[in-house]
């Protein structure tokens, strides 16, 4: 009930291409879905987050697509750049009330020049 | 802003010694702070959740007598790894949430612990 499944485990994309990372959750009570970006040796940084009242959220080159009925959400990185090479984690939790983040296992993205 | 700092950024210690890691929220008061451990190429594993002035809540399998957490103020939480052993070597990351009622977490930069 608490799992968040993330795929793919690793991804290589050419510069300028679109990177797509998918996550699926099980707990229908979850209503907060953030994506974190982590560079080697650094802590995760919040990239973008979505709540179920919208099906898509866009911030610059980063877009979250959310499918409530399928219990899936995905991160799209448009015009991927070598500087986007990092590990990306999806997570899910309740937005309010006592809840901890349930993380996916992460996706290592490499954007080739 | 929502900046969280950790100190030290890395530490090397001998087996059997204790190490203290500090986590501070620099520009906000943190209702709740979280401590995670991350092994290479793995996801973040929640160790414990702490609220200011109360005892920490530890996740299953985390030894509370080994990983001492003190949340003395709304801007400071500390994690002490007692009697450290080489298997405790890991990347320790804290996060904090604001008193807004949401579960948004803001992460620190992490502390690399190496136990020799």
| Dist CA A29 CA A25 (whole Å) | 10
| Dist CA A57 CA A49 (whole Å) | 8
| Dist CA B12 CA B89 (whole Å) | 9
pLDDT, tens digit, 9 for 90 and up, residues B26-63:
999 988 999 999 999 999 999 999 988 888 999 999 99
Chain B interface includes A9 (CB < 8 A): no
Residue range B63-86: mean pLDDT, rounded: 94
Would you list the DSSP string of A78-106? SS--GGG-EEEEEEEB-SBSS--PEE---
Surface-to-core class of residue B114, CB atoms within 10 Å of its CB (0-12 exposed, 13-18 middle, 19+ buried): middle
Q: How far is B46 from chain A (nearest CA, A)?
A: 8
Residue range B62-66: mean pLDDT, rounded: 95
- pLDDT at residue B114 above 70? yes
CB B57: neighbour CB atoms within 10 A?
Answer: 17
pLDDT, tens digit, 9 for 90 and up, residues A85-99:
999 999 999 887 777
- pLDDT at residue B101 above 80? no
Tell me the pLDDT band of B21, cut-offs 50, 70 and 90: very high
- The pLDDT score that the predictor gives to residue B7 is 97
Q: For the CA atoms of A6, A11, A16, A20, what is the dihedral angle to 10 degrees?
A: -20
Q: Which of A77, A86, A17 is nearest to A48 (CA)?
A: A77
Of A7-16, A79-88, B24-33, where does mean pLDDT reach its minimum? B24-33
- The pLDDT score that the predictor gives to residue B104 is 87
Nearest CB to B102 within list A89, A95, A103: A95
Q: Are B43 and A106 in contact (CB under 8 A)?
A: yes
pLDDT, tens digit, 9 for 90 and up, residues B1-10:
789 999 999 9
- The pLDDT score that the predictor gives to residue B1 is 73
Q: Are A11 and A108 in contact (CB under 8 A)?
A: yes
- pLDDT at residue A1 above 60? no
3-class DSSP state of B86: helix
Nearest CB to B43 within list A42, A95, A106: A106
Contacts of A66 (CB under 8 A, 6+ apart): A33, A50, A52, A54, A55, A56, A57, A72, A73
Contacts of B113 (CB under 8 A, 6+ apart): B10, B11, B13, B19, B21, B81, B84, B88, B89, B90, B91, B92
**R_g of chain B, CA atoms, integer Å:** 13
Chain A interface includes B1 (CB < 8 A): no
Q: How far is B18 from chain A (nearest CA, A)?
A: 22
- The pLDDT score that the predictor gives to residue A104 is 97
| Dist CA B69 CA B61 (whole Å) | 15
Chain B interface includes A1 (CB < 8 A): no
pLDDT, tens digit, 9 for 90 and up, residues A35-76:
999 999 999 999 999 999 999 999 999 999 999 999 999 999
| Dist CA B85 CA A42 (whole Å) | 23
- The pLDDT score that the predictor gives to residue A17 is 98
Nearest CB to B43 within list A96, A100, A103: A103
């Amino acid at each position: 009930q608490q799992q968040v499944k993330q795929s793919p485990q690793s991804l290589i994309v050419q510069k300028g291409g679109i990177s797509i990372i998918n996550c699926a959750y099980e707990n229908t009570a979850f209503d907060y879905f953030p994506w974190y970006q982590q560079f080697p040796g650094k802590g995760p940084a919040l990239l973008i987050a979505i709540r179920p009242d919208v099906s898509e959220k866009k911030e610059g080159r980063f877009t979250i697509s959310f499918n409530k009925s399928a219990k899936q959400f995905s991160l799209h990185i448009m015009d991927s750049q070598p500087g986007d090479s990092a590990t990306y984690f999806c997570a899910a939790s309740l937005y309010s009330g006592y809840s901890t983040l349930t993380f996916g296992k992460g996706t290592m993205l490499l954007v080739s020049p | 802003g929502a900046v969280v700092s950790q100190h030290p950024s890395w530490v090397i210690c001998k087996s059997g010694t204790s190490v203290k890691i500090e986590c501070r929220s620099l520009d906000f008061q943190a209702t709740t702070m979280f401590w995670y451990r991350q092994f290479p190429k793995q996801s973040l594993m929640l160790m414990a959740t702490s609220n200011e002035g109360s005892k920490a809540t530890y996740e299953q399998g985390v030894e509370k007598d080994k990983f001492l957490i003190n949340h003395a103020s709304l801007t400071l939480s500390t994690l002490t790894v007692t009697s450290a052993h080489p298997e405790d070597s890991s990347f320790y990351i804290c996060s904090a949430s604001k008193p807004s009622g949401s579960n948004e977490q803001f992460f620190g930069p992490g502390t690399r612990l190496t136990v020799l």
